[in-house]
Amino acid sequence: MLIDGKLVEAEGGSVFDNINPTTEESLGQVANGSASDMANAVAAARNAFDNTSWATDTELRKRCLDQLQAALESEQEELRQELVAEVGAPIALTYGPHLDAPLKHAITWPREMIDKFEWSRSLGPADALGWGMQTERVVWKEPKGVVGAIVPWNFPAELTLTKLGPILAMGNTCVLKPAPDTPFNATRIGRLIAEKTEIPPGVVNVVPSRDHAVGEVLTRSPDVDMIAFTGSTATGRRIMEAAASTIKDVFLELGGKSALVVLDDAPLEEVLATAAMACIHGGQACAQASRLLVPRNKYDEAVEICKTSFENWKYGDPSVFENMQGPQINQTQQQRIIGLFDSAREQGATTVFGGGIPAHLEKGFFVEPTLFANVTNDMRIAQEEVFGPVLCVIAHDGDDDAVRIANDSTYGLSGGIHSGDLDRALAVARRIRTGTLSVNGGIWYGADAPFGGYKSSGIGRQCGIEGLEIFTETKLVGWPV
């Protein structure tokens, strides 16, 4: 663990095994932080924020972020292999969203924004009370304080870096709790901070733990000013409830049940030729579209095109470059997904492809890439976040009906629209209540792009200007002209 600038063992030397989901074997052991360890980390972060120059010294922050970037790049290949091993991430994806893409911008863009961010703005003089006193009013943006960052297992390096960059650039200190299933990338980052940067002790603390309850120290501590969490909606609710006890801010990026809407003028063959991409990384992506909405009069054709895509889909050992789908993260997730597949069939869905555990893979928590037809939007498989390799084909009766189905969800994180008419696609996009949308295959992702959701998909935005502002407090000051 990294606590107060030191690399330390957990209380009592407690450790737990980090399991490779492909081989089901231990990759090694990691410190199993306790509630007491977490409390020590919080105290260190509080002291670093209150009693060092980190919050005010922008030159120090820029220099330290440059050092962190260089340190990460120096062990980029080790991080890559680590992600394949502990996450089951397809190695091809580490050259994109799992590692190389966030490593290029997640630290560097917030660092550049330290000098560009509007830390102060004038509202101009005013006689606000009508007493004849002209007052100059200025809005200041200041660091939030101590941020508890809780990261999930599906894209752990990406999500850790896209939290650390803005948190640190804005002058905050933090305590990072990685997911129990994927701790090694976070402890590596902690070691790099300790060994290769001038980041002051306590500014960043890393506390892995097998016990999810250890995270409650962060959510309930009065010394923590904010929680930044990415994960399930159920856990997000518990965090929000716990954070209410100390009235702390929360950023929550939660689940999704995104819809890919294909309008009747879209080139069907072109759009659906890659339908099996719904199974990329085992479907373990919150923004992944798992509902495919196609025109009813083209439904059978659409299902056949999708089936061909699934038949040609490659999955298995994530270290093989051609395999874009590896295992699920653990056996619990694997069995939960199979249970949802069984429920879909019980409710009347038809299995077009897959639907079970692959017989040819003797080891690993794998699930077959699965295509369901005859799905209606009221089925569990269409309403619950599966987080598995599945695509459900749902018929719609035109633009209005497609919008209705897309919005008929407790979630509102992402989605996509395809049309031969860009203006028509954009008009539909305005009516779908999600935080992000891809139109005709456009990619919205980036360190400068605000990401988050509507409804049960969360509160706030990560990345972009909005993702910097959430890690600041707003102070208004006034003085006589």
Instruction: Say how far apart CA 65 and CA 347 lie, in whole Å.
Output: 52
- Of 369, 360, 270, 382, nearest in space to 310 by CA: 369
Instruction: Say how far apart CA 374 and CA 448 lie, in whole Å.
Output: 39
- Of 38, 72, 220, nearest in space to 160 by CA: 72
Q: Which helix (H) or strand (E) holds 141?
A: strand 135-143
Query: Which among 82, 158, 253, 385 is annotated as catalytic?
Result: 253
Phi and psi at 93, nearest 5°, equal -75, -20
Which residue reads 């633009």 in tokens? 399
- What would the two tokens of residue 57 be? 């010294």
- What would the two tokens of residue 98 be? 């799992």
Which amino acid is residue 38, in one-letter code? Answer: M
- Of 446, 480, 476, 473, nearest in space to 170 by CA: 473
Residue 376 neighbours by CB distance under 10 Å: 14
Beta strand 15-19 pairing with 26-31: antiparallel
- Please check whether residue 286 is in contact with residue 97, taking contact to mean a CB–CB distance below 8 angstroms: no
Q: Is 59 a catalytic residue?
A: no
Per DSSP, the three-state class of 357 is coil
Which residue reads 């929680």 in tokens? 227
- Please check whether residue 270 is in contact with residue 262, taking contact to mean a CB–CB distance below 8 angstroms: no
Rg, Å, the chain Cα set: 24
- Of 239, 221, 190, nearest in space to 72 by CA: 190
Q: DSSP character for 13?
A: G
Instruction: Say how far apart CA 395 and CA 390 lie, in whole Å.
Output: 17
- Please check whether residue 160 is in contact with residue 151, taking contact to mean a CB–CB distance below 8 angstroms: yes
- As beta bridge partners, residue 3 has 6
Which residue reads 């309008």 in tokens? 263
- Please check whether residue 392 is in contact with residue 413, taking contact to mean a CB–CB distance below 8 angstroms: no
Instruction: Say how far apart CA 43 and CA 32 lie, in whole Å.
Output: 19
Instruction: Say how far apart CA 298 and CA 402 lie, in whole Å.
Output: 14
- Please check whether residue 154 is in contact with residue 286, taking contact to mean a CB–CB distance below 8 angstroms: yes
User: Catalytic amino acids?
Assistant: 253
